[in-house]
Structure 1
Amino acid sequence: MKAISSRDNPLVKRLHALASSGRERRILGETLLDGAHLVQAALERSCRLKGLVVSESGVRKAEIADLLGEVGQGLPCHVLPDTLFAHVSPVDTPSGVLAIIDLPAEKPLGTIVDNLVVLDGVQDPGNLGTILRTAAAAGVRHVLLAEGCAGAWSPRVLRAGMGAHFVLEVHERVDLAAWLPGFGGQVLATALSGDACSLYDLDLRAPVAWVFGGEGQGVSPAVLACATRHVLIPMPGAIESLNVGAAVAVCLFEQARQLGSR
């Protein structure tokens, strides 16, 4: 491993840019994986790493030492002092290891006949990563993100997703109002409107496009108009709404329950 100790080092500047700027990630065509678990998940899914960076204290952690042994001599590896590693870390509590990967090439969005999750204005990286992880756990393969959502491949979203990105097909900046009318199954949008029906009264055994809105404003009117039905999650307690990540989990696993009982 090569040691780096200066903030002026080109690699340090590159890492800081990838950690802090979506614009720089798009220009460089790269992003960062933070944490040994996420890096290991990428390796298991044959995601090519371009470089590995560890902190001086991280080298002494067993899981990071095992990871360094697994990648071998063919991958550029650098070690940074803890203070410098914290400077390039995309999170407030550095994990001790970062990997550089290429951003995936954008795939054309064609016809989808399976269940999918559609997100409109979900801006919190932690929420988005959690939703992606939940979708992967529930067996959903496709996730569509409208313009205005957090960047799916930002380091914070990747960390919250914990490997879900490598088993999903994620499409960003989708014109939902143009795409959704062509979907062949139900388009179900969570909403508190008067015509909303209970989630538990629905037959969810056919393909569904699940539409969820942002943390504050919910689903936009243009996208809501594409829904074949508005859905309400019954809540007997004294709270009027759920975090969007929790709402996604309730809906997807109710569908999984119904499909499992078939």
Structure 2
Amino acid sequence: MTKEKILSRDQLEGRNVVIEALRREKRRIQAVYLDAQAKRNIKVEDILNLSSRQGVSVKRVSRQELDKMSKTGVHNGVIALADPLPSWTTKDLIDDVFNRGEFPFLILADEIQYEHNLGAILRSAMGAGVHGVIVPSKRGKGLTPVVQRVSMGGAEVVPLIRESLMSAIKHIKKAGIPLVAADMDGVSLWETNLKGSLALVLGGESKGVSPTLRSKCRKIVSVPLHHNLDSLNVSVTAGIVMFEKCRQEQKG
């Protein structure tokens, strides 16, 4: 793992994402701005206690000041400024997972245009035990304030790697990890063995998985749907496939 130079800072908005960032301690929290009128509930107490324990300054400010600072429009009375998360490459992440004696579980998400979708994928990935989400270095969304807020702390746990997908696939194939795409016209997900190492390939909201990426995959799977529905939201599809893999692993 290589830490990127601190050339900028991330803005975290919302109680859950700020609590997770403080709790996980993956990066330095520079300051926390808290609504001066916020009621002392469990989450506010968590923010205050965790900040105090780590020596993070908590500044009580007006709701109007938070509104001016906000980049997402939904801050829930708290905004934190933080160092960027440590950066990973696909190769380093795969090596790290194998060194821990685990089977790599990765997601490649091509050209995700809507921040809420990428944030939702990261949130589900955290719950499903995914080791990393890989997105193109020049296309689609990265780790924006909205993505981090929607991920509800998922971005603190699951690395988001920005890298050429072709480069990532080269390392994935070299490691012997099968690539499986979730797209239309595939075999039924319920009849597909997802146990062990896996790299799940997702396409963008409008185009699906590109022909180039499909050609790199060992198998194409689809979620069986009723009433002639041809597709689901990409984050919903991702969640279904992730937790179907979890179900199969637990079943043994």
TM bucket normalised to smaller: 0.7 to 0.9
Residue from 75, 81, 94 that aligns with 1:100: 81
Hey, what's the Cα distance between the residues in 1 that align with 2:58 and 2:35? 11
1:149 alignment partner in structure 2 = 140
Q: What SS class does the counterpart of residue 85 from structure 2 fall into? A: coil
Query: Residues 65 and 260 (structure 1 numbering): CA distance in 2 closer, same or farther, change over 3 Å?
Result: closer
Runs of 4+ aligned residues of structure 1 deviating over 3 Å after TM superposition are none
Across the aligned residues of Structure 1 and Structure 2, the Cα RMSD in angstroms comes to: 2.2
Does structure 1 retain, via aligned residues, the 8 Å contact 2:181–2:217? yes
Between structure 1 and structure 2, the one with the greater Rg is 1
SS for the counterpart of 2:146 is helix
How much has 1:27 moved relative to structure 2? 8.6
Find out whether 1:39 has 2:18 as its counterpart.
Answer: yes
- Structure 2 partner of 1:169: 159
Q: Which amino acid aligns with 2:131?
A: R
Quote how far apart the aligned CAs of 1:247 are: 0.2
The Cα offsets for residues 84-133 of structure 1, whole Å up to 9 and x where unpaired, read as 22111122233111111111232333162511111001121111111011
State the secondary structure of the residue aligned to 2:64. helix
CA distance in 2, matches of 1:88, 1:120: 31
**Does residue 1:257 correspond to 2:227, yes or no?**
no
Deviation at 1:212, TM superposition (A): 0.4
Q: Which residue of 2 aligns with 1:215?
A: 205
Amino acid at match of 2:235: G
Q: CA deviation at 1:180?
A: 1.4
Q: Is contact 1:33-1:158 (8 Å) kept?
A: yes
CA distance in 1, matches of 2:105, 2:45: 40
Does structure 2 retain, via aligned residues, the 8 Å contact 1:121–1:219? no
CA distance in 2, matches of 1:72, 1:259: 40
Deviation at 1:57, TM superposition (A): 2.7
Alpha-carbon offset, residue 70 of structure 1: 4.1
On the 8 A contact 2:87/2:159 being kept in 1, the answer is no
Which of the numbers 165, 186, 204 marks the counterpart of 2:194?
204
Superposition deviation, residue 61 in structure 1: 4.4
Aligned positions, number? 232
**What is the CA–CA distance in structure 1 between the aligned matches of 2:33 and 2:181, rounded to whole Å?**
42
Once structures 1 and 2 are overlaid, which stretch shifts more, 223-232 or 242-251?
Answer: 223-232
TM (norm. structure 1) is: 0.80
For normalisation by structure 2, the TM-score amounts to 0.83
Report SS of the residue matched to 1:230: strand
CA separation of 1:94/1:45 partners in 2, compared to 1, >3 Å: closer, same or farther? closer
Unaligned runs of 5+ in 2: 95-102
2:231 is matched with which residue? 241
- Post-superposition Cα deviations, 1:187-219, rounded to whole Å, max 9, x if no partner, equal 1112224xx211111111131110001111112
Tell me the CA shift for residue 177 of structure 1: 2.2
Of residues 150, 173, 183, the one that matches 1:191 is: 183
User: Which amino acid is 2:165 matched to?
Assistant: L
- Asked whether the equivalents of residues 181 and 226 of structure 1 are also in contact (C-alpha less than 8 Å), the reply is no
Specify the code of the residue in structure 1 equivalent to 2:56.
L
| Residue segments in structure 1 that go unaligned for 5+ positions in a row | 1-25
Distance 1:233 1:250 in 2: 8
